Structure 1
């Protein structure tokens, strides 16, 4: 394989499609300069430093397409190339190699990425990489907060712990082969003037398919729960309690008042929520208030202060509110307010 040994004039600029109605950005980079590759691969929260082996030449060609909370890429490299990451990305990274080997510095030893085996890295799981010779891979990047939102919807409860997903997936058959085809179709269909640029619904469906395929097919902390039978419909008293919480979401209601509205004892209400919602009534109330506060932060812009929004929804400890908001939505309240 031969890569460009120079950087074309138009590859450093991002191209936007005028025909799509979804967040979209394409960036292409190629060349031989390690510093330019460092800049291309770095993000505001996680800088990457690329170095080569002595004076030996390197070459690279990378094309990345961002779709909001999901990004796909097609990258090719030649030479002995090392990278070191500073900071922690908030994205899960999946590498789907088609040629050559690559290693990642994992917490418990190196993780090897070879053709036929995909590599899945959660944020903070690898700080450095090494490539020796020719390497090409597709890659998929997913915001961790987006994964948590989907899990919350699937399991009907708040997700706070890491996914702890197995870092290896077979690409020669089954779910791994399907995942590789989905990412290849996404990237190919969005590159240049690809047909997917004019079909945001198809893009959304393919992105969702890739995420759900990972969650349901790759061993992770929630595999047993995801594989369990769907829960029975919640009984009337749990539904009544949930309706009462939503009707009085901004008011200082107590567990006893919720139970009274549901026409059961507090003990029966607790049991119902544990059995049918895998949480407690107060934790459920806390969650819907957090979602409401997040919605207000998104809509407020610079018109309101974080403290005012937090207090409106009953969060009196601002430090704890900020920490819980970042765990739930992937960013601090102040960052959401500026979006």
Structure 2
């Protein structure tokens, strides 16, 4: 067995946010202490707890590189370990096994991770990982806001909530091979002498390329939705109406109110939204309000009813609201509240 597993911890980990003058940071540690591995894999917002599952010796060697929006982890393990996250993390995880097996606890179900197949998971739905080493994998942690931003651009509407990728990715296919190549480039480019460490624009482009590759080639909740063409730049009166919606969407708003704010007639405003946003002004406002309801229900204030939250945001017909909400978010509002 390699000596990298047998030494004591080295190179203490400091997770400072990346800055424009120092876009990439990193850390490396190897050892045999599960508490030190817990520290290595934890973030300020989401602690990780590592426990040993047998009397057999354990060991680890982990190298991390993190920059804005993405973290690359190159990790090897020996022995039987369980890695459990004690608080949810709002990131996506892509795992590319080099050798050895592991099992993720994902939405209460076991997801096996073996060479030849990548695994893509939402960290907020992942309870932990069981390893029976030797095991070596490459892990990519990507801020989920990057995925939702790309989805919003693809569908020209606000996208929130889980993405729900099918967790297994075949690395022998064309898209799977491309995923492996992009991940390898990110990994090598973020090493101490890697080309991406001093190229923040190239790093951002490669990170976004990885995100688009995943969204466009592997099944997820939004795969069957038609992708909108990139909308034309909206004229000033449409932008004024949208700005007014965002500033006052918790208040009663009529089409005439929007037209006054946009400084055009109601007919001109409707034509502008149809041409440049492929919808009507009031449908656009409804989308903003649906997202607001969804956000409030996710906060889980069980003292409030779904009806009271819906009424707060202007939905007076509860049955019709529930139907529209389910069509938009894939679940009833009461299910979101219980999440």
TM over 0.5: yes
TM-score, normalised on structure 2? 0.73
**Once the two structures are superposed, what CA deviation does each residue of 1:68-118 show, in whole Å capped at 9, x if it has no partner?**
111111111111111222110111111111100000112252000000111
Who is 1:276 aligned against? 278
Cα offset, 1:267, TM superposition:
10
Who is 1:293 aligned against? none
**Once the two structures are superposed, what CA deviation does each residue of 1:252-291 show, in whole Å capped at 9, x if it has no partner?**
675313346443449956983897158824257779x9xx
Q: Matches of 1:28 and 1:239 in 2, distance apart? A: 51
The farther-off stretch of 131-140 and 249-258 is 249-258
Q: Matches of 1:143 and 1:266 in 2, distance apart? A: 40
Who is 1:298 aligned against? none
1:142-291 map, 5 Å: 142-225=142-225, 228=227, 230=229, 239=235, 241-245=237-241, 254-259=254-259, 261-265=263-267, 268=270, 272=274, 276-277=278-279, 280-283=283-286
Who is 2:34 aligned against? 34
Structure 2 CA distance for partners of 1:81 and 1:197, relative to 1, 3 Å: same
**Once the two structures are superposed, what CA deviation does each residue of 1:138-192 show, in whole Å capped at 9, x if it has no partner?**
1111111222122222222111231111111111222222112212111212211
TM-score, normalised on structure 1? 0.73
1:89-128 map, 5 Å: 89-128=89-128
Structure 2 CA distance for partners of 1:249 and 1:230, relative to 1, 3 Å: closer
Q: Once superposed, what is the RMSD of the aligned Cα atoms?
A: 3.5
1:6-25 map, 5 Å: 6-7=7-8, 9=10, 11-14=11-14, 21=21, 23-25=23-25
Structure 2 CA distance for partners of 1:145 and 1:20, relative to 1, 3 Å: closer
The 3-state SS of whatever aligns with 2:136 is strand
Unaligned runs of 5+ in 1: 290-316, 318-339
Q: Matches of 1:6 and 1:66 in 2, distance apart? A: 24
Q: Matches of 1:278 and 1:95 in 2, distance apart? A: 42
Structure 2 CA distance for partners of 1:262 and 1:165, relative to 1, 3 Å: farther
Cα offset, 1:229, TM superposition:
5.8
Structure 2 CA distance for partners of 1:86 and 1:40, relative to 1, 3 Å: same
Who is 2:65 aligned against? 65
Structure 2 CA distance for partners of 1:224 and 1:233, relative to 1, 3 Å: farther
Q: Matches of 1:119 and 1:202 in 2, distance apart? A: 25
Who is 2:6 aligned against? 5
Q: Matches of 2:39 and 2:280 in 1, distance apart? A: 45
The 3-state SS of whatever aligns with 1:12 is coil
Q: Matches of 2:172 and 2:8 in 1, distance apart? A: 34
- Tell me, yes or no, if the aligned pair for 1:156 and 1:277 is still in contact at 8 Å: no
